[in-house]
Amino acid sequence: MSAEATNPGAPIRRRGRPRIDLRRLGRVALLGPVSRDRLPDAIGHVAEAHRAHHPDADLSVLRRAYVLAETSHRGQMRKSGEPYITHPLAVTLILAELGAETTTLTASLLHDTVEDTEVTLDQVGEQFGDEVRYLVDGVTKLEKVDYGAAAEPETFRKMLVATGDDVRVMSIKLADRLHNMRTLGVMRPEKQARIARVTRDVLIPLAERLGVQALKTELEDLVFAILHPEEYAQTRAVLSAATTGADPLTVIAGNVSSVLREAGITAEVLVRPRHFVSVHRVSIKRGELRGTDFGRLLVLVAEDADCYAVLGELHTCFTPVISEFKDFIAAPKFNLYQSLHTAVVGPESEVAEVLIRTHRMHKVAEAGVIALGNPYAADSGAQPAEPADGERADPTRPGWLSRLLQWQQSATDPDTFWTTLRADLAQDREITVFRTDGGTLGLPAGASCVDAAYAQYGDAAHSCIGARVNGRLATLSTALGDGDTVQLLLAEDAASGPSPDWLDHARTPTARIAITGWLDAHPQDQETVQGSRPADRRPGPQPAPSGSAGPGGRTASALVERSDATVRLAGCCTPVPPDDVTGFTVRGGAVTVHRLRCPAAARMEAVGRVPVAVSWGDASECRVTLVAESFGRPRLLADLTEAIAGADAAIISATVEPPSEQRVRHTYTLQLPDAAGLPSLMRAMRDVPGVYDVSRAQHPAAAL
């Protein structure tokens, strides 16, 4: 953690406690032993900030930690020329200002001693207890070791493992990186850029997920200054120019205060300036900036109910911009964030964004998990109990972090781990889906049934053949929404495997790593799997959800000669009576039925696969995939679905591709009560105004 840092460009600071003078502290740190009856002057700022959040905190442990850190680091210097003790002091001050509890601050003061000095973990444990020892050990494990090209991925793998046991480890790491970024100017430009990129790709998303907005926003500005110096300079100039004129947000804030005061609502109304990156994003979105674009109004109240009372008054006394309203109190973000977001029109027609939250919500919004204190200490102050296996459950650990810790164990390749980590951190929203057994699954937004299958069953999901979403049959490619109920259907043949197409629908690292691992281990089965397209296999009207055939080797009215065969209709061409069909035996002994002209059937014949004779039985119900090509117009989708419903067909899944040159492509997978009704259904769809062609699909549809 000895990477150096300096503030590139000295951004305009918000009002508040002045930043500590690190050089002055360094001189104080070198004055030698201090009296035993008072705190060293060098950590006076830390004590002041800590007492502001924890008035009854015992500061004696901080004094002892400082003395040990100062004497241990004495003689060590940073590349910027300051005594090294200034670094742990600055990191501890950052955490103290965010409200971290005493144990975290103690560990922060000592976080470099075990690696950089002769102090041992046992000494830390003897003097400060097992909890501080645990945190210092966790932070020490994040230190750089010589992994060659895999150094950065392996360092962050260790960081995640340590964080999984205690989120306070990550808090110290984030504060450490912030201080290093503040003084990064002493590094070579290429090293500045490398550290900034890693900060952007991993640490900033982790700060966002842990809810530590105060650290995240400053890290974003520092990275912005290094990686985009021209845009940073332009934004800085725009902000400087904006401070010279009248601030319309101040006027609107006064009006809001008057309205709330007249309504009898006790509230604090503040103008909250945007940071550099936020201003830059707004300028890209809106072009020319308005006077109200340089900040937002923050309304702080005492109780949750007061938030909605403030919202009601604002929407009554001002013109609201309804499209800007978001309720993150009823539905908090995955990183603990809660607020009401709205926007109102001011007296001069300016639009002001407003954040409404309680004081407690504001503390958590700024400091995230840091504001939650020690997640393991009981209310009585007792020491946390350690389970027999050495693991401990973190009550503040979000579901996304638990999932991340699970898949990182499977990503043995550093490049795979690094790429997957960055992709997973790019997900900015979570959904919760319900299982039919009463449990829940936490998944990233956009997750499909494939992701749900691997989240619930692990490697057993390789044999999944379909799902029921909210009681209706669905393909594994179906995207899930927040609050959906999902039931995954597994084949009786546990040896069956996933299709490469599943990777197109997998959004979670757990699913992608498991699928990729199976495909790499079974290269000889991929041609077979591609022919049967398990991504679009459905149980259909088979006798059992597992997809097994009934007597005589039949399913969905398709018959084969072998009486013991499991028969499946291929999802790539969805054959229906009276199509000319053929079949191929796939791994596990199942027979997949294809239309005679299906490209997948042609590929299997080309590699020497022997066709199996298939005929149609008496059952009339069938499933088919249709593609409608049309010109874009309003209500087109509604008219098409009405035509489908008029033909007594049920929509199993549907996709609408983005318009291209005013043309739109719709793909529907439909369940028909009788195959004889297919021609009339296609005619009805062609009769919809704007539709110029309806055809049978020749490839699997990625259902939404």
Q: What share of the chain is helix, strand, coil (3-state, %, to 5)?
A: 45, 15, 35
Q: Give the number of other Cβ atoms within 10 Å of residue 527's Cβ.
A: 15
Q: Give burial (CB, 10 Å; 0-12/13-18/19+) of 29.
A: buried
Tell me the CA distances in angstroms from 125 to 71, 130, 136, 286, one per residue in order.
Answer: 18, 5, 9, 55
Among the listed residues 318, 287, 314, 295, the one whose alpha carbon sits nearest the alpha carbon of residue 247: 295
Specify the amino acid at residue 410.
S
Long-range contacts made by residues 465-468, C-beta under 8 angstroms, separation at least 24?
465/489, 465/490, 465/491, 465/496, 465/534, 465/537, 465/538, 465/539, 465/546, 465/547, 466/537, 466/538, 466/539, 466/545, 466/547
CA distance linking residue 380 with residue 316, whole number of Å: 46
Do residues 576 and 678 make contact, with C-beta atoms less than 8 angstroms apart?
yes
Q: Where are the beta strands (DSSP E) in 274-397?
A: 295-301, 319-320, 326-327, 340-345, 351-358
Do residues 162 and 195 make contact, with C-beta atoms less than 8 angstroms apart?
no
Structure tokens at 39: 């705190």
Do residues 256 and 297 make contact, with C-beta atoms less than 8 angstroms apart?
yes
Tell me the CA distances in angstroms from 277 to 1, 271, 429, one per residue in order.
Answer: 26, 18, 20
Structure tokens at 126: 């003897």
Catalytic-residue membership of 579: no
Rg (Cα) of the chain, in Å, rounded?
31
Structure tokens at 15: 């009002």
CA distance linking residue 193 with residue 215, whole number of Å: 19
Q: Give the number of other Cβ atoms within 10 Å of residue 83's Cβ.
A: 23
Beta bridge partners of 488: 467
Catalytic-residue membership of 116: yes
* Stretch (H or E) spanning 280: helix 276-286
- CA dihedral over 319, 322, 323, 326, signed as positive or negative: positive
Long-range contacts made by residues 417-420, C-beta under 8 angstroms, separation at least 24?
417/153, 417/157, 418/152, 418/153, 418/156, 420/509, 420/512, 420/513
Please work out, in degrees rounded to the nearest 5, the angle formed at the alpha carbon of residue 250 by the alpha carbons of 249 and 255: 95
Catalytic one among 70, 97, 112, 116?
A: 116
Reading phi first (left if > 0) and then psi (alpha if -120 to 50, else beta), residue 271 is in beta
CA distance linking residue 472 with residue 397, whole number of Å: 34
CA distance linking residue 156 with residue 407, whole number of Å: 14
Catalytic one among 41, 115, 247, 621?
A: 115
Residues assigned a catalytic role: 115-116
